[in-house]
Amino acid sequence: MHGWTGTLLRVDLTEGTARREEIPRQLLEEYLGGRGLGVRLMRGSFRLDPFDPAMPLIFAVGPLCGTPAPTAARLSVVSRSPLTGTIYDCSAGGRFAWRLKAAGVDALVVTGRSPAPVAVAIHPGGVEFLACPELWGSPVPATVAALNARGSVAAIGPAGENGVLFANIMMGEGNSVGRGGLGAVMGSKNLKALVVNGNQRTGIADPDLFDKARADVMRLFKASPVTFGALGIAEFGTPVLVDLMAQRRMAPTENFRKTFFERSGNYSGPAIKAACRAKKDGCYGCPIQCKKSTPEGEHLPEYETVSHFGALNNVDDLAAIIKSNNVCNDLGLDTITAAATLSAWGEIRGRFPLAGEIPRLLEDMALVRGEGELLAKGSRRLAERLGRPELSMSVKSLELPAYDPRGAYGMALAYATSARGGCHLRAYPIAHEILRKPVPTDRFSFSGKARIIAIAEDTNAAVDSLVACKFSFFGASLEEYAELLSAVTGVEYSPQRLKEIGRRIVLTERFYNCANGFSRRDDVLPERFFSEPGSSGDGIRIPPIDRQRFEEELDKYYRIRGLNGDGCFDDADFADKQP
User: Is 179 inside a domain boundary?
Assistant: yes
Number of domains in the chain: 1
The predicted pLDDT at position 283 comes to: 86
Residue-wise pLDDT tens digits, 155-191: 999 999 999 999 999 999 889 999 999 999 999 999 9
pLDDT averaged over every residue in the chain: 96
Q: What does the chain come to in residues?
A: 579
User: Is 174 inside a domain boundary?
Assistant: yes
- 55: domain CATH number is 3.60.9.10
User: Is 91 inside a domain boundary?
Assistant: yes
User: Is 107 inside a domain boundary?
Assistant: yes
Classified as helix, coil or strand, 201 is coil
* Percent of the chain whose pLDDT exceeds 90: 91
State the residue range of the domain holding 121.
Answer: 7-196
Helix then strand then coil, in percent of the chain rounded to 5, is 45, 15, 40
Rounded distance, CA 110 to CA 99, Å?
17
Average pLDDT of the segment spanning 475-497 = 97
pLDDT higher than threshold 70 for residue 414: yes
Residue-wise pLDDT tens digits, 254-270: 999 999 999 999 999 99
Average pLDDT of the segment spanning 482-506 = 98
Residue-wise pLDDT tens digits, 215-232: 999 999 999 988 888 778
Residue-wise pLDDT tens digits, 337-395: 999 999 999 999 999 999 999 999 999 999 999 999 999 999 999 999 999 999 999 99
**Judging by DSSP bridges, how do beta strands 107-111 and 118-123 pair with one another?**
unpaired
User: Is 16 inside a domain boundary?
Assistant: yes
User: Is 168 inside a domain boundary?
Assistant: yes
CA distances in angstroms from 237 to 90, 252, 354, listed in the order given: 20, 19, 26
Within 10 angstroms of residue 451's Cβ, the number of other Cβ atoms is 12
User: Is 182 inside a domain boundary?
Assistant: yes
The predicted pLDDT at position 437 comes to: 83
Rounded distance, CA 518 to CA 566, Å?
9
Q: Is the pTM of this model over 0.95?
A: yes
In sequence order, what are the beta bridge partners of 9?
20, 108
User: Is 136 inside a domain boundary?
Assistant: yes
Kindly compute the dihedral angle of the four CA atoms of residues 216, 69, 462, 32, in this order, to the nearest 10 degrees: 130
94-108, 426-440, 562-576: the lowest-pLDDT one: 426-440
509-539 burial by CB neighbour count: b if 16+ within 10 A, else e? bbbbbbbeebebebbbbbebbbebebebeee
Q: Under the phi-then-psi rule, with left for phi > 0, alpha for psi from -120 to 50, and beta for the rest, what region is 136?
A: beta
Residue-wise pLDDT tens digits, 281-332: 888 888 888 889 999 989 999 999 999 999 999 999 999 999 999 999 999 9
pLDDT higher than threshold 70 for residue 458: yes
The predicted pLDDT at position 238 comes to: 94
